[in-house]
Chain A
Amino acid sequence: MAVITLDVDGTAHRLDVEPEMPLLYALRDELGLNNPRFGCGLAQCGSCTVLMDGQPIRACVVPVAAVTGKVQTLSGLGTAEEPHPVQQAFIDEQALFCGYCMNGWILYAAALLESDPNPSDEAIRQAFTGLKCRCGSHSAILRAVKRAAATLSDREG
């Protein structure tokens, strides 16, 4: 066991856990957070995605001791009153079914638009390599990401 500090959604936490415990278990079981979810435990699906210093990581395979940056979860991205434009676009497009996969899609989309505010169709598809959705939300997700990009460029312009 080791004492580890984690900054999650702007709050600092001290944990006493095995350093090799994956971040996902630390977030869920030690901190009682819900939204990053177990899908594969193998970095193959994205259900467990969180952002570390703005970059998406797979919490199921990152040992908690290796987390050096600030962690942001889907629930830390926006609020019901002030949703992130990507979240709003997913609502507007009704772009999901069960939603179990959504941590990955929304957080990867947010990170993508951060670095490329006006991505091509191809760039969006490539950015989502390695993400899974079993319910077939793909086409709706593409529409949502384009809508979010349009909203963001309206705001800039």
Chain B
Amino acid sequence: MGWYGTAVKRRDVLKGAGSLVVSLAVPGARRAMAADDRPLWRALSPAQLDTYLKIDETGRVTAFFGKMDMGQGVDISIAQIVAEELDLPLDRVDVVMGDTALTVNQGGASGSTGIERGANPLRNAAAEARRVLLELGAEMLGVDAGEVAVAEGAVYLRADPVRRAGFGELIGGGHFDVRLEWNGSYGNALDALGSAAPKDPSEYRVVGQPFPRRDLPEIVMGTHEYIVDVRVPDMMHGRVVRPPVAGSVPVSVNIDSIGAIAGARVVHEGDYLGVVAGREWDAVRAAQQLEVSWSEVEPPFPDMDDLYDHIRRAPVVRESAGGGRGADVAPDRDAVEAALARADRVLQAEYEFPFQSHGSMGPACAVCDYRGDSATLWTGSQKPHYAAEGVANILGLPAGNVRGIWVPGPGSYGRNDAGDAAMDAAVMSRAVSRPVRVQGTRAEGTAWDPKAPASVHFARAGLDAAGNVVGYEMRMKGFSAGDVESNESNPSYSYAGALLGWPNTSVHRLSNPGDRYGFPVNVRYWQTIAPLLERASPLRTAHLRDPLGPQNHFASECFMDEMAVAAGADPVEFRLRYLPDGRDADVLRAAAERYGWEPAVPGPEAPPSDGVVTGRGVAYTRRGLPVVAVIADVEVDLDTGRVWPRRFVVASDQGIVVNPLWLRRTIEGNIIHAVSRTLHEEVRFTPERVTSVDWISYPILEMVDAPEEIDIVLVNRPELPPYGAGEPSTRTVPPAIANAVFDATGLRIRRAPFSRERILAARRASADRQPG
């Protein structure tokens, strides 16, 4: 029997309100959805209007969205955009996302493109639907299309508005059967155009309004379903068994060691090892008690104290002044040397950024039900379409035979451990021929998730006698960001895939800082080095919120401050000297204005030696199209080393604002997450293993250190499309805080995070340098 006949039982066919609604008897498919005409086993066509929109007999609209919301309210913005084009009240639009049987692959959550790209096909489909509804309405009313208009979910006669036909009467439950012009792409690039043009933004009434999220009440009432809550009949619980030394693999396994645990079984395929049991607690105990002899391996990592020197010393694998995914571009080193030779003064500095963990609030969880010729995957992954494809690949099934159902997980900030858990559940389900739910331990969520790469940044600048920049060079050297690519369709990128012998397909890439400074000579390039351990490494790298943004801009925006100080300039004014007029300069000015910035050269008049001191720091960045500027007010306690960023002023231009409430929330969450990364987060390791295994060995921000105020200025640009606003503010936070610490203390901290120990050590070092 095919999977749609088993896993998806199309029972519970409800006849309600005259409409045929199929409620899918599948955990995670909580919303009853109008799916009667949506054969679950057939791939949806991105070129069909019906793929994106459905209108039921009551005129209620369901939008089928192929990206994801991970807690930033993207789905409510999508509903606003669809409601806008259809002239519908927002509460008549539902959004379905994350089910591969119901939505096309628009790339999942990816690079803050939920609105920037994900909204386009839905906006176009809704505009096209409105055109069709107008025609149908005119026909039903027996008039020309020019005589009717749309409002409140109905087509009405302009001359006599009581003569009207509701959307439900016009199309309710039926198909539009209208083709869209699809660009042939899946994923982020998917787009589809209709013949009708979407509205002009000047007419917007729903877009631009601050609507609350819809899932919040259930969450705070404790009734929201998360991925960890999925239970399917006959389900077993699985746990991965990880080696004591990174890179070692199981040689032999003593199955008797868990013989006393009822129903516990070992899954040992290739170098992959896990346990499965009927009850979760039994699986936890079996994973702990299983006796394994592991292969002897050389400890793969350097001493942690040697990390940055290891990076400095390591041979370069790939170098480019271009983008990580494009062809190599040779950096013009000669131009830099020539410019620096002409300079009056040369500044140089090196900045260091550690490995960081996603450390999602819950270790990843997934459930897979493998049925021989098909499978169903329940996942918290932010890319369920790709995750389902990956599961199909690792199970050797055609992609169409695996249905992926996203169920909200703990917040996800990139390619975290969820992408591995999906594969783990698939491999274990196949091994025991039962549905298996896998959830990690805290150590697996922190020590074994893919990491943001560690790096060293080498900055040089030449200033002339008047303090003008004549040449600039910024070089990032570090571990490639692409050990694990975020598209989860390739099992090679998963922990299980690596141990089951899928060939290594990691790529070498990093990136350069994003800004618009117009230095006369401006050379930026990056260099990757080899990974410390090729496969299944706890330090393998992947996307983590604003990938490479915090690293690169910690260096570039701190160095801007160092240049301003050297030039005896105010850091806002100094930046504006090199920014073209327009969005970048406007955003920086907006932040300064809201803050009430009075020009001054950063730094204390005399370096304080103890007590609590305060300072302010600025940073401006660009992430492709969105532009952000941040000013931080920071308090530094020189006796304890505590850095407390009390207040942030943020100015953000992300094109037109769709939902100001959730845009503000999203920026606020980003800032706070980035404060945590700046002050606390550093993955620790020994030569044998990662030793950041919990919230004590991988401390993160707690409430005592949370900012008091985050004041956000939204620079609305109704003339521009919406740009990805989810992540760009992240990258401004490490430099803004570092610059404020300098302003307060005169200490230039060039290594993140700014832990208490690091601040105290910097204070001691500077006291040693100061005579008497």
Contact = CB atoms under 8 A, between A and B. Distances in A.
Interface of A: 18, 21-22, 25, 28-29, 32, 34-35, 37-42, 44-45, 47, 73-80, 83, 87, 90-91, 94, 96-103, 106, 121, 124-126, 128-142
A75 B225 CA distance: 12
B217 A129 contact: no
A97 B669 contact: yes
A112 to B, nearest CB: 12
A98 to B, nearest CB: 4
A134 B226 CA distance: 16
B696 A44 contact: yes
Q: Which of B223, B695, B700 has the most CB of A within 10 A?
A: B695
A47 B226 CA distance: 13
Interface in B466-492: none
A147 B409 CA distance: 28
Contacts of A39: 361-362, 410, 442
A18 to B, nearest CB: 7
Nearest to A17: B281
A142 B707 CA distance: 10
A139 B707 contact: yes
B219 interface: yes
Contact of A98 (B231, B411, B675): B411
A15 to B, nearest CB: 12
A76 B710 CA distance: 33
B338 to A, nearest CB: 45
A153 B123 CA distance: 46
B712 to A, nearest CB: 11
B672 A102 contact: no
23 contacts: A21-B281, A32-B231, A34-B225, A37-B226, A42-B695, A44-B696, A74-B220, A74-B222, A75-B221, A80-B217, A87-B221, A97-B669, A98-B70, A99-B216, A100-B226, A125-B703, A128-B704, A130-B702, A134-B410, A138-B672, A139-B672, A140-B665, A142-B703
Nearest to B224: A99
Contact of B673 (A91, A129, A135): A135
Contacts of A99: 71, 215-216, 219-220, 224, 408
B703 A18 contact: no
A65 to B, nearest CB: 14
Contact of B221 (A42, A44, A80, A135): A80
Given A125-B704, A138-B703, A78 B221 contact: yes
B interface residue count range (under 10 / 10 to 19 / 20 to 34 / 35 or more):
35 or more
Nearest to A96: B219
Given A29-B281, A99-B71, 9 more contacts: A22-B281, A34-B223, A34-B229, A83-B217, A91-B216, A94-B213, A99-B408, A134-B700, A140-B668
A99 B702 CA distance: 16
B702 A106 contact: no
B441 to A, nearest CB: 7
Contacts of B212: 91, 94
A25 B452 CA distance: 32
B34 interface: no
B213 to A, nearest CB: 6
Nearest to A41: B442
B280 A25 contact: yes
B706 A139 contact: yes
A75 B219 CA distance: 9
- The 9 A-B residue pairs whose C-beta atoms are closest, nearest first, are A136-B672, A74-B222, A75-B222, A97-B71, A35-B222, A98-B411, A138-B706, A99-B219, A136-B669
B40 interface: no
A83 B71 contact: no
B58 interface: no
A146 to B, nearest CB: 12
A47 B668 contact: no
Contacts of A75: 221-223
A136 B408 contact: no
Contacts of A129: 702-704
Given A40-B442, A41-B442, A100 B706 contact: no
A136 B217 contact: no
Contacts of A90: 216, 220
Contact of A97 (B229, B411, B676, B706): B411
Contacts of B279: 29
Nearest to B410: A100
B222 A98 contact: no
Contacts of A140: 665, 668
Interface in B691-713: 694-696, 700-704, 706-710
A102 B219 contact: yes
B695 A44 contact: yes
B442 A73 contact: no
Contacts of A74: 220-222
B108 interface: no
Nearest to A77: B222
Q: Which of B70, B228, B362 lies at the interface centre, i.e. has the most chain A CB atoms within 10 A of its CB?
A: B362
A25 B284 CA distance: 11
Contact of A128 (B221, B228, B703): B703
A141 to B, nearest CB: 7
Contact of B702 (A100, A132, A137): A132
B358 to A, nearest CB: 8
Contacts of A22: 281
B703 to A, nearest CB: 4
Instruction: Determine which residue in A42, A80, A91, A135 has the highest number of CB atoms from chain B within 10 A of its CB, and name it.
Output: A135
A37 to B, nearest CB: 6
Contacts of A134: 359-361, 410-411, 413, 673, 700
Contacts of B213: 94
Contacts of A44: 442, 694-696
Nearest to A92: B212
A68 B362 CA distance: 27
Contact of B676 (A21, A38, A94, A136): A136
B421 to A, nearest CB: 13
Given A44-B696, A74-B221, A138-B672, A96 B226 contact: no
Contacts of A100: 226, 360-362, 409-411
